Structure 1
């Protein structure tokens, strides 16, 4: 049994739900399994073969299904590569290399090499935003545009939420639902299905609990490509106001959008991100 799940039955339930979601992928897609130094990596490829590439990196406790509302729009203009991040509840290897090292960038080197991509735009969400930022600072020549949604590694990480997850873990479904609501900020009838999905995942999945390394000012100042940062002021995981301040100071050419109502789960950004990518 993989160490990233609490039980074999839980792992099977998450994978069964994931397969149902993949079957409902809204556009034609190819499923690719790439060998990398961290183990196999699963990628969903959509869009015209001759379109410019766009790499999609989801957040912790998630998989490629987070892009289902975006992919129909984005794949009309880009060859999209939705990557299951390693160590998360998708179909990639359970490996979790140290984030305080070059290992994540080396893994992405392998992914891009396996896909035959020399340079690409990247959209990253939360942990995926951290991975995208880390890669852009280490391999700036390979990243043409960088769109970050509630990214880690810039504003202060609010570790209190990790302890909320741990405290509520013994309370089963009810505790998982409360944890999911606190983490995402989703709490409306329209988003209840998303909240249920997150709750199911965290009933069976062991999330990362370490702090994401914070990028120094010097690393952020090295970003020369166009950058878009979008964050919610009610984010319970990262300090969005600090994220905005640091990006304004260190990456003055970046476009920074602070949204007053959303929490960590940012919905409805499809058109804004596409406009930036088409720049």
Structure 2
């Protein structure tokens, strides 16, 4: 019995030491906003006051464009995910990209409300602040869900719609990034507010690429550091808890010219969702890139932006 008790105490001690070492090694406090801005908010970044937030925005290209392109990123991403597209488009189009509330450098909603209705109100405020009358609205993943909902609710403000691996239907994922799974776990999620393994972010980013070898150290650094913006980790947990997939039954009512771009290797929102969007939105065009993943605009901006340019009639 004594030998067994010693063995148990030894095992418990090893477990405690292992957990302690893991926490110490992966301890990740919030990074100062000024430090993040110095690296990730270089020109032409600017910050616009909307509803108590300083919203990170890049507004590029000719200001006399009658129908600017407004780009909305997905979960845990930032406006940087569109940079390759912006470089291809800004010579002819006004291109506006933003960090949505709860992500990037914008940070959390002051009221802690992350419902899709709250995001819809934010977009209305953004339109008013930037004096936008009508845009081509483009969204990837969660940003795509916000985009098609906005087109349904404010059709007079959306001239064209572009959905890039968009969310919105009940999800049937083949694979979910580890970071997303932990953020949705009620037991482990609070712990992620104090620790953030770099390898977990690396694994999550590679998971959403069709070709993980394209994921660079700088790309992982960007996702990792912007996750550490004060309030973003709590916002992610709340967003997963509060956002519901609703409204998709109304997609058949959309009258907006729509382009659907999808990665054939998307395991988070598999390609059958693309086909469902194409069926539900009358007259829409579907372009599938068989080798790309969940963020095709980031993984291969040249090929995917070419599909957009064709749709725009440039």
Shorter-chain TM-score range: 0.7 to 0.9
Preserved CA contact (<8 Å) 1:148 1:230 = yes
Per-residue Cα deviation, 1:19-56 (whole angstroms, up to 9, x for no partner): 3xx34xxxxx4x44333236232221111121131111
- Shift in alpha-carbon separation, 1:12–1:117, aligned structure 2, 3 A: closer
Preserved CA contact (<8 Å) 1:150 1:232 = yes
- Give the number of the structure whose residues are more often helix, by fraction: 2
Query: Alignment length, in residue pairs?
Result: 262
Could you tell me the TM-score, scaled by structure 1's length?
0.81
Report SS of the residue matched to 1:230. Answer: strand
| Alignment match of 1:172 (pick from 183, 197, 213) | 197
Answering whether residue 72 of structure 2 is matched by residue 78 of structure 1, we say no
Per-residue Cα deviation, 1:191-239 (whole angstroms, up to 9, x for no partner): 3246523553477362724175324443211211111111112213213
Aligned-pair CA distance for 1:171: 7.8
In structure 2, what is the Cα distance between the partners aligned to 1:61 and 1:171? 14
Q: Which residue of 1 aligns with 2:30?
A: 8
Answering whether residue 215 of structure 2 is matched by residue 191 of structure 1, we say yes
Extract structure 1 runs of 4+ deviating beyond 4 A.
Answer: 10-14, 164-171
Aligned-pair CA distance for 1:61: 1.6
Preserved CA contact (<8 Å) 2:211 2:291 = no
Q: Which residue of 1 aligns with 2:81?
A: 66
In structure 2, what is the Cα distance between the partners aligned to 1:193 and 1:173? 11
Aligned-pair CA distance for 1:155: 5.7
In structure 1, what is the Cα distance between the partners aligned to 2:196 and 2:126? 39
Q: Which residue of 1 aligns with 2:13?
A: none
Preserved CA contact (<8 Å) 2:69 2:95 = yes
Aligned-pair CA distance for 1:14: 4.2
In structure 1, what is the Cα distance between the partners aligned to 2:198 and 2:248? 41
Preserved CA contact (<8 Å) 1:173 1:199 = no
Q: Which residue of 2 aligns with 1:26?
A: none
Within 5 Å, which residues of 2 pair with 1:209-228?
209=237, 210=240, 212-228=243-259
Q: Which residue of 2 aligns with 1:17?
A: 39
- Shift in alpha-carbon separation, 1:84–1:69, aligned structure 2, 3 A: same
| Alignment match of 2:51 (pick from 9, 30, 37) | 37
In structure 2, what is the Cα distance between the partners aligned to 1:140 and 1:230? 21
Structure having the higher Rg: 2
- Shift in alpha-carbon separation, 1:198–1:239, aligned structure 2, 3 A: farther
- Shift in alpha-carbon separation, 1:67–1:256, aligned structure 2, 3 A: same
Preserved CA contact (<8 Å) 2:103 2:227 = no
- Shift in alpha-carbon separation, 1:15–1:272, aligned structure 2, 3 A: same
Show structure 1 runs of 5+ residues with no match. Answer: 1-5, 24-28
